[in-house]
Amino acid sequence: MTKKPGLLLALLPIVSMLVLLGVGYGVFHFKAEPLLISATIIAGVIGLALGLSWEEMQEGIVEKVAKSMPAILILITVGILIGTWMISGTIPMMIYYGIRFINPDYLIITAFLVTAVVSTFTGTSWGSVGTIGVAVIGIAMVQGVSLPVTAGAIVAGGYFGDKISPLSDTTNLAPAAAGSNLYDHIRHMLYTTIPAALVGMVIYLFVGKSAMTEGAGDPAKLEAMMSALTSMFGWNILLVIPIIIVLLGSIMKYPTIPVMLGSSIVAIILGVGIQGASLENALLSSVSGFNVDMLSGSEGISPEVANLLNRGGMSSMMGTTLIAFCAFSFAGILSKTGSLEVVLEKINQKAKSTGSLILATVLSCITMAVTTGSSYLSILIPGELFRKVYAERGLDAKNLSRTLEDSGTVIVPIVPWSLAGVYMSSTLGVPVLDYLPWAVMCYMGFVFAIIYGYTGFGIAKTEPVTLEDPKKSAI
């Protein structure tokens, strides 16, 4: 029979993981995979001590991996999208005209605004970062603008749109978990999301020129890169078709993966028809990524240009997928031990005032985000835990749904070992810990949530209601 862990035993695997990753990954820059496996072994030993069998723990791992498969499939599809958009000339064209028209002093705030708009219309941060974000990071590379600052602005912009878009899965999941209405939830989020975004935008404006690296903006270097792009690619208005397909597909709520694959097929056709790529190379770009040698006119291309363009493909996402499997192995065993529930219940017991309840919710969501690396779990489990408490204290459910997003959804991309964090890092080519300080909106949201909790500003009240415990009603 499985025993319920005490608080200290419940904390042990969580603290072990935080120490292993904080010291090993953060300080010594060890690979995350063996550190996650080590934490998984510790959780497994505790599981055995609590009476769990290996079969039960394996079942937990399989459940977590199975639930992550839709996200992993999207991840792999984005790899296809990036590779084919490269060989078609779609992303290179965005880079070329971005260099022509975007002032480097305002590139960082532009990075935030553009990804925010695209993500709002499409409802996906991953899609906007993997397409528009890749183009913007390319412009930053050419113009000599700091990549960590630019990447932070791109990630923040992507999650701004993801957070307030009615097309986003997490934006729909949060009110469902909390028991609020979707559009009430979105309107209520503006209290925290807009100020958090404004703080970030002010920082991006002030950073401006100070984010330029040494030798940035050298006219001769920029012109050489522009000439290299022109020698390899032919610019044509038809190259925007893959972008339009993704935007329209998202707005019309078609399934994400078929839309992205359709866009990729069109990009392959454009690569063959407009850029003169062979069909073999165009197809290969979807698997192993684009390489400048796939197109004529690449002779004598500088390493800087090659580094700018050589990316994408399904294979580029395999490292991300491996880390995801390691992280979900830890989360799967942890879920079977019941450790998270014990820790979250203890946090809940300490919350007496509205401010402390909001703070407890924030801490619970961050704990879930850090330990599981999943935006879904960081919404669902704290939502289930606190839903009854908010109702009994006369706090409208939209307060809970807002806080779930402020401290769950947008925290995950700044967790280095999360699926979102590894995706953003591998796609933009910037380590999570490097762009983390600049993804301002991702952590300022919960700061405002806590302030509002203690001051009462932006807190919606309702009549106290005693909700029936769903566990009891099922008996």
* DSSP output for 400-436: HHHHHIIIIITTGGGSTTSHHHHHHHHHHT--HHHHG
With a CB cutoff of 8 Å and minimum separation 6, the contacts of 327 are: 36, 372, 373, 417, 418, 419
pTM of the model: 0.77
pLDDT at position 212, please? 61
Nearest residue to 326 via CA among 88, 33, 42: 33
What's 11-27 look like in SS3? HHHHHHHHHHHHHHHCC
Q: Which tokens sit at 213?
A: 């690296």
pLDDT in tens, 186-207: 899 999 999 999 999 999 998 8
Quote the CA–CA distance of 324 and 287 in Å, as a whole number. Answer: 20
Task: Note whether 79 and 38 are within 8 A (CB).
Answer: no
β-pair partners for 212: 145
Quote the CA–CA distance of 92 and 108 in Å, as a whole number. Answer: 19
Quote the CA–CA distance of 47 and 51 in Å, as a whole number. Answer: 6
Task: Note whether 70 and 249 are within 8 A (CB).
Answer: no
Enumerate residue ranges in the chain where pLDDT < 70.
1, 26, 167, 209-219, 221, 344, 348, 466-475
pLDDT in tens, 384-401: 778 878 888 889 999 999
Q: Where are the domains of the chain?
A: 67-318
